[in-house]
Amino acid sequence: MVLSDLARFVQFACALSVFGLAAWQRARLRATPAPAGGEEPRWLALYAVACLLGAAAGIGWLLAEAQTIGGTWTALGAVIVSTRFGAVGALRVALLALAALTAWAGRRAGSPWGTLGVLTGAAVLSFVWSGHGTAGAGPLRGLHTIADALHLVCAAIWIGALLMLSAVGVRAVAVRSPQSSHALWLALSRFSGIGPGLIGLLAVTGFVNSWILLGPAPWAALQRSLYGWVLIAKLALFALMLGLGWRHRYRSSPALARVLSAGAGAGAGAAQAGEPVLDCLRATLLIETLLAFLVLAAVAVLGNLEPPASPS
């Protein structure tokens, strides 16, 4: 079970991260002081490795499932052919492998963000059909499927944004130039435009999913099941992320803007005064990114637990 959870987590982390980052790149929301031509090949190499890692984790997960339900890893073929989760899992492996190839080849060909987004986006959506995403009966099942798909896409975009912001923040601290600080402020401002909408959608779709999986008495169900306690942990991590996001939007970003305004033409003194703001922002962005991956770990564990609404 632990290996299965780990393999699920790696798949989640790789697929959601690359899709989220590719979505941002595609939408031209990336802010970097370096020329795009110099950075893109390195990013694409990283994405290729991440997709390959996700594909490998997918194979590992299928082998673990074959061992668990078939008694031997050689039941892999039967798992893929005779179960839906097996077929979807195999498709996900193929999508991530293709995405890795696309990213790697794109280092020379350039700008494969659309193709990469489609392949990794399909991989992200595949999680809906290989877990509890299709739980529910009748119209409820359709609602759950849509909510789960939206939840995953929003989570991926948020994670992609955090990774991008963290990278820009780390660069801003390393370089400590007005240009890199401005790039960070610009990236934060652009994310703040869609951040509230993303978080709102995450909250609504998360509520719908929990209501369907926990049943008509959600609070009682939370307390009497391991599924419930892991879900509580996930919600607590989400709340911490919200707190940091609030801080970034209403404290850190305005403080950085003030530093940039004061620093324009004011020389080294103003730049030094802005260093604590940059250091703090880098730290909180990295912490929020770490929290996001802890949320994914909780999701990976939840996928292997029985929701309380399941009839016994």
**Positions in the binding site for other proteins (CB under 8 A):** 65, 68-70, 75, 78-79, 82-86, 88, 91, 101-102, 105-112, 114-115, 118, 121-122, 125-126, 128-132, 134-137, 141, 213, 303-304, 306-307, 309-312
Nearest residue (CB) to other proteins, 123 versus 172: 123
Nearest distance in Å: CB 289, other proteins? 27
Residues 6+ apart with CB under 8 A from 62: 76, 79, 80, 86, 89, 90, 93
Q: Which residue has the tokens 């494969």?
A: 112
Which is closer to other proteins, CB of 141 or CB of 176?
141
Instruction: Report the run of H or E that residue 10 belongs to, with start and end.
Output: helix 2-26
Nearest distance from C-beta of residue 311 to other proteins, angstroms: 5
Q: Which residues contact 44 (CB under 8 A, 6 or more apart)?
A: 103, 104, 106, 107, 112
Question: For residue 304, with 0-12 CB atoms within 10 Å meaning exposed, 13-18 middle and 19 or more buried, which class applies?
Answer: middle
Distance CA 73, CA 76 (A): 6
Q: Which of 47, 62, 55, 44 is nearest to 11 (CA)?
A: 55
Minimum CB–partner distance for residue 259 and other proteins (Å) = 39
Q: How far is the CB of 101 from other proteins (least distance, A)?
A: 6
Q: Annotate 148-185 with b (16+ C-beta within 10 A) or e (fewer).
A: bbbbbbbbbbbbbbbbbbbbbbebbbeeeebebbbbbb
Residue 104 CB, nearest approach to other proteins (Å): 8
The smaller minimum CB distance to other proteins, of residues 149 and 186, is found at 149
DSSP string, 261-279: HHHTTT-HHHHHHTHHHHH
Fill in the DSSP letter of residue 29. -
Q: Which is nearer to other proteins, 136 or 263 (CB)?
A: 136
* Minimum CB distance to other proteins, residue 10 (Å): 17
Other residues' Cβ atoms within 10 Å of the Cβ of residue 204: 14
Distance CA(63)–CA(231), nearest Å, equals 27
Compare residues 98 and 292 and give the one whose CB is closer to other proteins.
Answer: 98
Whose Cβ is closer to other proteins: residue 86's or residue 169's?
86
> CA neighbours within 13 Å on the CB side: how many for 11?
37
CB of 122 to other proteins, least distance (A): 5
> Residue 42 or 84: which CB sits closer to other proteins?
84
